Structure 1
Amino acid sequence: MAVRPEGTPCWADAMFGDVEQAKSFYGAVLGWTFGESSSQYGNYTQAYVDGKAVAAVVPPMSGQEGQSQWCLYLASADAAATAGKIREHGGEVLMEPMQVGEFGTMCLAREPAGAVFGLWQGGTHEGFEATAVPGAYCWAEFFTRDPERTDAFLSAVFPYGMQQIDDAGVDFRLFKVGDDTVLGRMRMGEEFPLEVPSYVNVYFTVGDCDTAVARATELGGVLRFGPMDSPFGRFAALSDPQGANFSVIDITTTQGEMPVTTDVS
């Protein structure tokens, strides 16, 4: 089995009070099809693009009802050991490492500034079977009100190298595993209402950003930002009808020069 490098994004799922509505929405916007729900694992239902697993939806467990949100999972070779590092560096373990049959081991945590994320120690389920193709995961960013704490935490728990984007108008940092850039971190400014907590924003690839936005809003989604062109692609930030934030990006439509970055020790 291929082992994903420590700290690499490897899976995404979300809890929805109305799973059928979520399936209908994301099926229309991202082209997902869905497998059979597994009652043994809380009616967890995987989403597929061209037969390859790209995400999952699940109803909330008892006591966890509330705002729907996407959860990004970072790869861990030893979830228990990584959970120990999370505590050691000021994070909170929300759900202790739990083995999910032969599929792997999962854990949920919160970094010091408040963003929730997961760990996944792969077994027979290694994670994403496709990325960076229409309908599949492409990118993710930690949106945080306390970037200094978030940066220190992430770089202590995972073997990340860091680069700061040299742009006076934005406080944005990149996290690398070896030579691969795997995550971003954005400082939340005054444009974010105070009631919006720190969170992880997940990007899904689309063939055409404007078409995806139009379809999403027609189906009850809310456009939060964009569409906007960038050197990385044309993207937009949305909320689905149940309030889960996500972004869509067309990575084939790029504009502008790549930003200059500085290595951070």
Structure 2
Amino acid sequence: MGLNLESYARTFSTDATIDHAAVEKHIKKLEELDRYLPKMQSYILVQNTVDQKYEYICENYEKLLGYKKKDALEKGMAFHFSNIHPEDISNWLLILDDLMCFTMGNVAIDERINCVYSWNYRLKNKKGKYVNIQVHQTPLYFDSKGKPILGFSQNTILANVKKQPMVGVCKKLNHQNEYETLFYKNYSESLLIDCLSNREFDIVRLLAKGHSTKEISNKLNISTHTTATHRKNILSKLKFKSSIEIVNYCNQNHLF
């Protein structure tokens, strides 16, 4: 499938315009930070979905992908997105549309600023090699209807060179300062955990990060009995014998 940003434009369509004076304070802070950031496997973008351009691109963009930052700034998102693997384009567009529809229909307007979205795709670098990109995007600016139209995006190049399942996720920072999963969907190969509820998914995520039953209970504000029941149900659904098998499965599939 070739790149066609009409679908992208429909997903983010709005009558609003970006208040560049409001955005500028974010850009200045990012420019200051960029001078001190260590060289790492991530690059930062600020995406203006109204005009389909970038308000900011960090220095690591050139170092990691090989493309000129100037070209991406001048030519906009079409320049960057044209390098997405052709096999990933349809799922990538579907992920963005599903995340937007979910947000507008299921997340209260005053809670959207606390959401973070993630998805992944393969991107061709300047050398012609496809690399796996994991995107974590947080909205910075909304239109009058609460639609996110400007986003802060951290993009990490994964060390694993194998094709990864394309997954779209929406999480919200709750009152316990923990990110709870609101939306999760796998758009390619099926994963065992696709059958889990959002609560069970959160428990698997915390298990994979090494938390005990008591710690999970405290973080999710539920009783240890409830957590233990969830763990039992998770093992039954996934046909695993122990939590260690769950952790190993998550590690092998680079889920968290």
TM-score, normalised via structure 2 length: 0.29
Task: Give the number of the structure whose residues are more often helix, by fraction.
Answer: 2
TM-score, normalised via structure 1 length: 0.28
Which fold has the larger relative contact order, with Cα–Cα distance below 8 Å and residues 6 or more apart in sequence?
Answer: 1
Q: Which structure has the larger Rg? A: 2
